Chain A
Amino acid sequence: MSRHTIRFELNGATREVEVEADRLLLDVLRDETGLTGTKEGCRVGICGTCTVLVDGRPMTSCLFPAVHADGTAVRTIEGIAHDRELTPLQTAFIEHGGFQCGICTPGQIVSATALLETHPRPTDEQIREWMMGNLCRCTGYFGIVRAIQAAASA
């Protein structure tokens, strides 16, 4: 197995790690950088709990080779709030019933952050389309959609 040194920006700070060729970004984040906010759910690309942003785009970190993060900017749930101050989106999730058990929430927030950065005023259709990749077994999705709508119109 070949080993590779990769350099990337992680939530604004430059990181350098050595990884084996088959190491996945999810595992590097959780096991090597100690950022355990990114969750492992299905590990087959369906549930979205492992969503992180790579150069601003939502990626499936359970299917993303860590070597492919070389030279990119990675943002995880830990990099969303500024100085411990929640973003309007995070506050809206609290106020509008955007979560219950919370296991899917890091992925939801990361995906929705990218949505609002791409479409600051998304239509309901755009919200549903974009968020389709983030499953939630608790909320029935209405609270999540309401929270995103509220954050977008704040």
Chain B
Amino acid sequence: MSYELHRPRSLDEALALLERHEDAHVMAGATAMVLLMRQGLVRPERVVSLRDAGMSGIRREADGTLWIGATTTIRDAETSDAVRAHCAALAETFGRVATVRVRCQATIGGNLAHADPAQDPPPMLIAIGAEAELARAGGARRRIAVEDLLVDQFATAIDPGELLVGVRVPPPAPGTRATYVKFLPKTEDDYATVSVAAAVRVADGRIADARIALGSVGATAIRARKTEQALRGAAPQQIADAAAIVRDEIDAIDDLRGSAAYKREMARVWTERAVRSLMA
């Protein structure tokens, strides 16, 4: 690897660089970039480091939306009181990424932009309806649901010249509870064999609303809309049947962490367990 490195001191400066050099690669915490470059999967001629671009920070906005700046480290998000108060399950999901050491370096934006389907935060962010905010030079901004941001394995809807500037998490609907389960048959610091994020609202002992997203079972984190539909209105004894639908909704392939058949079965098991835990 042999590249020209830019170290912009502000977001505007970073965006101006990306406008001028559309082929430039962005680097945040560098935990994924260093490995991609070493493996020759990315061979940039130009890299823009966001380290000093002033894009980190967490705040709650007047309308109750939680904002997490793109270069906020996963560790800072995990340990933030504002994140925990907004959605404890989100803070806990950040805490499931790799190890403390990796979380101190890796960023929220890098995690999303990397778009590895085995990552932990994306399913949770999808289940709680989070949006990514993208910016380009000149002040243009757009918002896109996290589930639409992730278009394929290692591919996102971020256009050339654009930067992910942060993540917006809407205030949870009253009575909504969420959880993230990461099935790790090997070691605690591994990527999941299957992971399930569930956000459920319960009313009168039945599921009034549900959002389910899974990781490690397809080219992207996958939202399980048919399963969600079957869960709506379900009483506790109907959860198992609804969760079984997830087997056909995912697109698992054999990998080091399990065969496709095993992953389908574990997706069913863990979807059921996740939803049940929220009814208790």
A-side residues, CB < 8 A to B, are 1-2, 4, 21-22, 24, 44-46, 48, 51, 57-60, 62-65, 67-68, 111, 129-130, 132-134
Contact = CB atoms under 8 A, between A and B. Distances in A.
Contacts of B65: none
Contacts of A44: 35
A63 B34 contact: yes
A65 B99 contact: no
A57 B189 contact: no
Interface in B29-44: 30-31, 34-35, 37
A3 B192 CA distance: 39
Interface of B: 1-5, 7, 27, 30-31, 34-35, 37, 47, 49, 51, 75, 98-102, 104-105, 188-189
B94 to A, nearest CB: 13
B30 A132 contact: no
B99 A132 contact: yes
A60 B31 contact: yes
Contact of A63 (B35, B47, B51, B75): B35
A90 B78 CA distance: 29
- Secondary structure dominating the interface of A: mixed
A60 B47 CA distance: 20
Contacts of B34: 24, 62-65
25 contacts: A4-B5, A21-B3, A45-B35, A45-B102, A51-B101, A57-B75, A58-B101, A59-B101, A59-B105, A60-B105, A63-B34, A63-B35, A63-B105, A64-B105, A65-B30, A65-B34, A65-B49, A67-B7, A67-B49, A68-B30, A68-B49, A111-B101, A129-B100, A132-B99, A133-B102
A20 to B, nearest CB: 8
A64 B1 CA distance: 15
Contacts, number: 71
Given A1-B4, A63-B30, A67-B49, A46 B189 contact: yes
Contacts of B102: 45, 60, 133
Given A21-B5, A132-B99, 8 more contacts: A2-B4, A22-B2, A45-B31, A64-B105, A68-B51, A111-B101, A132-B100, A132-B188
Contacts of A132: 99-100, 188-189
Contacts of A58: 100-101, 104
Nearest to B30: A65
Contact of A57 (B30, B35, B104, B188): B104
Nearest to A43: B38
Nearest to B100: A130
A48 B101 contact: yes
B218 to A, nearest CB: 24
B104 A2 contact: no
Contacts of B35: 44-45, 63
Given A2-B5, A57-B75, A68-B51, A63 B31 contact: yes
Contacts of A60: 31, 101-102, 105
A47 to B, nearest CB: 10
B189 A2 contact: no
Contacts of B49: 65, 67-68
A45 B100 CA distance: 12
Contacts of B100: 58, 129-130, 132-133
Most chain A beta-carbon contacts within 10 A, residue among B47, B100, B189:
B100
Contacts of A21: 3-5, 47
Contacts of B105: 59-60, 63-64
